[in-house]
Structure formats: structure tokens, C-alpha cells
Amino acid sequence: MEAHRTLLVRLPKDKCDVDYIKRLMALTNLAYWGYEVWAPDLPKEIQYQLYGSFKNFKGSLVFGTKPKGWFAKTWVPLKTLRIYQDDSKKGDPNAPIVLDFKNNVIRLRKVCKNEPRYAVEVPMPRWIIERVKEGGDVRFAMIGLKDDEPYLALVAERVVEPYVPSDYMLAVDVNSWKYGISWGLIRNGEIVSHKQEGINLGKYYRLYDEVIRFGKKYGALKRLGLHKTVEGSRLWSEIKILRMRLYAITRDRAYFLASKLARKALRYRALLVIDDMIEESRRELLEEKLPPDVVKLLMSNLKRFVHQLETLAQWYCVPYRFKRLPSTICPICGSELTQLPGRIMVCTNCGFKAPRDKVPMYWAIKPRPSKQHSRVG
């Protein structure tokens, strides 16, 4: 089995000819639809790659996703040469992308500008070094434009062997940033450890309040027609920076937690069980009468978290599955749970009682849902 992960590296725009890259992308698009167009003024090596070796990879991850239609932006697949610290080499010696682990640089030849000896060097991202340490290899790369900015996509691949899970299970319940992502390490039906991971909510709300305050100020200026003044423009760029910072907080946290939990599962050779009922969490927040803006913020990057967790599980070959782990239904008898202050859930039918964020862990423990429960499962 092969696992893949992709990294995007932004290329220096001043060293790239965007129009040239656009032409290469157009050519790639044509190659997709089975047309061989030999452009006399474009490097032959790149065209050989498109019409030769890459044909077989059509539709595979290497070629990127299938273009949606004619003239859709299609990334250009490129071969790589890897030069390792002990001078050993792998790949095509004439490959346009050279990953030089001796000097820790990536060299791009002939793909940034249409000049025979033109090359661009970018620093080797630490991400690649880490993937290679894990036994990964970067046989292919892609160049393309995203929002008119040139990027290099590096595709790391690794041959993996799934392990048979130990008697550990790691259950992950995705809520919202208000209640965090809760996980429980379970062994033989016992919760060994449990934690709710989140963000610094106080700091997060303070930053949000600032965005609102600045927004009001900007609105007032706009009503006076003064939003294009120096003060107005400065305010606008400050609002944009604050919004980006807000978004970055949850994004960074999502990546951090996905990595932490994937590694935890790997360490215990646990079965990873994920509940990603993000919609239910959104409803819970709306029922609390939080403003839609705040709800949106508190739900931001959670899908990214689940996606990243799944990607990492595949990369490290952690066995995983998605399973519904309800927090409002009794895991013992299936009755509706009643919520007490402090987010404590009780079952009036059988007496089950647990903190709301721990209820999903009991659902994960349940060996197999009976017929009665499968309708909620």
C-alpha cells in the first residue's frame, strides 16, 4: 500500500515567468485530453515528460486531479532527482526538479522561465526532510499557479504496512473550538486517559472583539465617505491582519492536534475511531444563541482537522474508522440523556452519568451497537 502527502511551496514570483507557467499548464491540460501539441519554442524535455512517461499516470495522484474542462488550470507533473547526503542519487538525472539534501535546496530547472539554462533555487522545506526520515520519497512534483502565484507541489509517497491494532483504541470526538476536541485512550473497555483539547478561548474572543471594534470604526468612516483616506486604509489592513490571525489560531491548532493524535495512536498501535459530526456541534452552538459570526469562527478549521487526521493516519498507516459517537444518547440503554448544569449528562432511565464530552468515549467502548441502537448509530 502506498500513502501520499503533498506540500505546497510558494515560489519567488520575481524569478518566475507566470505566462510561461500558464503555457505549460495549458499544454498539460491538452495532454490530459489526449492531444499531443509540440510547441517548438518550449523545452523538449518537459514535453517528452508530458507525452511520454506521464501518460501512464493519467488520473493518478501524480497527475493531480482531473481538469474540470477545457482550459482548466492543470498542474504540470515533473520528475525529480534526489541527491542524498552520502552522494547517492535516485531518479532521472535530467529531471527538472532536483532535491539536493546535501545543500538543502530544491533546484527548479527550465520550468520557471523559458530560458535554456535558467534555474531557481529555493530552500529545502523541513517538511520534506522529515518525510524522508520517515521513509518517504518524493518521486514527483508539480508546478502550477494558485491565485496567479507560482507554486511547487511536492508529492511525498511511502510504502506502508498496516498494523494489527493492539488492545488500545483512541476515540476522537470533534466538537467546536468552544468545547474542544475530546479524545480518550481506551484499553479493554476502560478509559485510560481523556482530555479536551482546545484553544485559548479568552485570547480568541478578545481578538474577535477587536475585529468588531475596528469594523465599527471603519463602518463609521465609510458612512462619511472617508474609508479611502490614509486612516481608513490603515484600519482596513489592520482588520485584514486581525482576521488572518484569528483564522491562523484554529488552523495551527488543528494541524498540531491532528499530528499529536495520529502519533499517539501510532505509539499505542491503537485503532483510531473518529466522530466528525461537525454539523451537530454547529447546531449546539446556534441553540446557545451565539451570533452566526462567532459560530463560524468556533467551527473554523475543524474539517481541516479531520482531513489532516485522516491523511496522517494513512501516512503512518494507523488503522482508523469513522463512527458515530453520540453525546446526548445513553450508551448503556439508548435513552435520551438529560443535560445538567456544567455539561453533565444523566440518564433518567438507567442512571448513567458522565460529563458530556466523555459520553462519546463510552460509545466507543461499546462492543457492537445492538439493533435498537443502530438506528442512532
DSSP 55-85: GGGTTSGGG-SPPSSTT---PEEEEEEEE-T
* Count of positions on this chain that bind Zn ion (CB under 5 A): 8
Q: Hey, what's the cell of 141?
A: 512534483
Q: Does 347 bind Zn ion (CB under 5 A)?
A: yes
Among 3, 221, 330, 361, binds Zn ion (CB under 5 A): 330
Among 8, 37, 286, 350, binds Zn ion (CB under 5 A): 350
- Give me the amino acid identity at 40: P
DSSP 175-238: --TTT-EEEEEEETTEEEEEEEE---HHHHHHHHHHHHHHHHHHHHHHHTT-TTSHHHHHHHHH
Q: Hey, what's the cell of 308?
A: 489532516
Segment lying near Zn ion (by CB under 5 A), choices 18-26, 89-97, 193-201, 347-355:
347-355
Among 56, 166, 233, 349, binds Zn ion (CB under 5 A): 349
Residue with smaller CB distance to Zn ion, 85 or 349: 349
Cβ 349 to Zn ion, closest distance in Å?
5
Residue with smaller CB distance to Zn ion, 288 or 336: 336
Residue with smaller CB distance to Zn ion, 56 or 349: 349
Among 333, 336, 340, 374, binds Zn ion (CB under 5 A): 333
- Give me the amino acid identity at 46: I
Segment lying near Zn ion (by CB under 5 A), choices 17-25, 74-82, 148-156, 335-343:
335-343
Q: Indicate left, alpha or beta for 289 from its phi (over 0: left) and psi (-120 to 50: alpha).
A: left
- Give me the amino acid identity at 34: G
Helix and strand totals (H; E) in the chain? 10, 16
Residue with smaller CB distance to Zn ion, 220 or 332: 332
Segment lying near Zn ion (by CB under 5 A), choices 17-25, 92-100, 174-182, 327-335:
327-335
Rounded to whole angstroms, how far apart are CA atoms 377 and 369?
Answer: 7
Among 18, 159, 332, 340, binds Zn ion (CB under 5 A): 332
Query: Interface with Zn ion by CB under 5 A: which residues?
Result: 330, 332-333, 335, 347, 349-350, 352
